[in-house]
Amino acid sequence: MPERGVWLAGLPAERWALPWGESRTDAPAAVCLAIGTGVAQAQSAAPRSLDVLTGRWTIVDARGAAVGESTVEVQVPDAMLFEVRRVGTGKPQALWFANLEAGGWMQLFVGARGSVREFRTQSAPGAWPVVMGAAFITQDGQVTTYRMTISRAPDDETRRVLESSRDAGTAWTTVFDYGYRRARD
């Protein structure tokens, strides 16, 4: 069970029990996707809080074309975020970000088979970009390592890059490279 009482129950993702007693039924099962942000000059502030990621976002590909949307809410200030993301015509995906007392940020999501998966922080505590990752056995039976990089840009832009490796991190393949632009009301 993850630290700080962060837990999810009732899978597959029709219902999630959250640590403060609330339950959610508004997001279907998720697949592995990730968050992030972009320009090196904004990287200096330590990611003690990822609350800067809250709000409505338009997700864009490398060419700047809109490919989806995301809404990120603060569940517990400086400690837990909840995101619902939709890319293309797929089902919405639910993601949680938790700030652990030891070890920095962690991302929780529901995997393709309905089990809760987590990406733990791999970058130095307090450093930007935030790098998270883990290894999983994929549906084809292979162990695959995933690395998600969250980098910062101005407040109205972020970047999220997810990469995978089937050789324990020797070579990486980009799964997606999304820009997030704050949605205009």
DSSP run (H or E) holding 80: strand 80-87
Task: Name the average pLDDT for the chain.
Answer: 75
Cα 83 to Cα 94: distance, rounded to the nearest angstrom: 6
Q: How confident is the model at residue 137, as a pLDDT?
A: 87
- Quote the pLDDT of residue 110: 85
The pLDDT confidence band at residue 5, using thresholds 50, 70 and 90, is very low
**pTM of the predicted model, to two decimals?**
0.71
Res 47: pLDDT:
56
For the segment 42-65, what is each residue's pLDDT rounded down to a tens digit?
333 445 688 888 999 999 998 999
Is the confidence at residue 1, as pLDDT, over 60? no
The pLDDT, as a whole number, for residue 49 is 80
Task: Say which residues have a Cβ less than 8 Å from residue 73's Cβ, sequence separation at least 6.
Answer: 54, 81, 82, 83
Instruction: Give CA–CA dist 76/81, Å, rounded.
Output: 7
- For residue 9, is pLDDT > 90? no
Task: Note the pLDDT of residue 61.
Answer: 94
Q: Evaluate the omega torsion of the peptide bond into residue 12 and state whether it is cis, within 30 degrees of 0.
A: yes
CATH no. of 16-182: 2.40.128
User: Residue 166: what residue type?
Assistant: R
pLDDT (mean) for 114-129: 85
